[in-house]
Every structure is written in C-alpha cells, then in structure tokens.
C-alpha cells in the first residue's frame, strides 16, 4: 500500500523554518536607545559595557547583569523559540515573529530584574555620598536614575552573514 500525497507542504515549511533561523533576537541597548537625555558624556551602551565588565582604571568593579540575566531566563526563552519553530512548521510567519518577540521580552525583563537584584559588590561610601548630594538615597548598584535600566530592550533583526 502506497502513500498518496494530497498536498505537499514540506518546501513551504522549510522556507518558514529558514526564515526563523535567519533572525537574531538581541537583548541590550540598541542604538536607538543609546543616547542619554541628561547630557552624560557617554552612552547607555557604554555604561552597560563598563558595568558588565568593570573599568579598573576608573576603579569601577564589574557587575555582570546582561549575560547572567539572559542566561537565567534560558529555559523560558527556549520555550518561546520552540513555539516559533512550531509556528514555522505551520507556515505561520506572524506566530514566528510573536515567539521571537516574546523570547526577547523575556530576556529584557530578566536583565532588568537582575539589575534590581542588588549585584555585588556594594556601592562605595563615596558613591553613596555623591548620590546623597544629588538628592538620591538608593543603594542599589546600576540603579541611580534608572535611565540605563530603562534603555534595555530587545530587537529582532536579520542575522549578519
């Protein structure tokens, strides 16, 4: 007994899957959120890089938040990517994009949660004194004005080949 193919969707499904894997979901500070409204001499992306890696010459310790934040949400992000793969198999482009967007949003929220979780080391007394002089009382590292945290978002873009 043979198999009768009434409708061949394999090539269309493969095109959809190919579209899915050609996309990157990026979490961080995109160029559109990079500028600071407070006239700071450096950008939000530069602040993020310095905070993630530290700047020994400026006596700034590393406070990893971007990579650990996304890594902490890998399971939830993976679930969204599975949904995207299923949508691709069903030729559902809107479903693919919705899953990618959901994965990015999960990563974005995880990074923001990491920032508010009080990343060690604690702020130095001189930093706290400088905050107090500006009328700020918070002791959470990476969270003075919240401008940097609020600049963190996600984007979906075609992979660079």
The model's pLDDT over 57-104, given as tens digits with 9 standing for 90+, comes to 999 999 999 999 999 999 999 999 999 999 988 888 899 999 999 999
Q: What is the pLDDT of residue 18?
A: 74
Output the CA torsion 134→136→142→146 (10° steps): -90
pTM equals 0.85
Q: Which of 47, 77, 79 is nearest to 65 (CA)?
A: 47
Q: Across-strand partners of 25?
A: 156
How far from the centroid of its chain's Cα atoms is residue 139's Cα? 24
**Cα-based angle 68, 30, 123 (whole degrees, multiple of 5):** 45
């Amino acid at each position: 007994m043979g198999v009768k193919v009434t409708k061949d969707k394999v090539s269309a499904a493969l095109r959809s899957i190919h579209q899915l894997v050609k996309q990157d979901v990026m979490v961080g500070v995109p160029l559109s959120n990079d500028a600071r409204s407070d006239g700071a001499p450096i950008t939000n992306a530069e602040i993020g890089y310095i905070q993630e890696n530290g700047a020994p010459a400026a006596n700034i310790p590393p406070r990893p938040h971007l990579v650990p934040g996304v890594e902490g949400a890998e399971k939830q992000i993976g679930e969204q990517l599975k949904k995207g793969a299923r949508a691709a198999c069903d030729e559902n482009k809107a479903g693919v994009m919705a899953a990618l967007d959901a994965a990015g949003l999960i990563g974005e929220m995880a990074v923001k949660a990491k920032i508010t979780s009080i990343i060690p080391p604690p702020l130095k007394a001189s930093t706290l004194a400088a905050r107090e002089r500006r009328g700020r009382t918070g002791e959470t590292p990476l969270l003075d004005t919240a401008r940097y945290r609020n600049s963190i978002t996600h984007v979906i873009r075609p992979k660079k080949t």
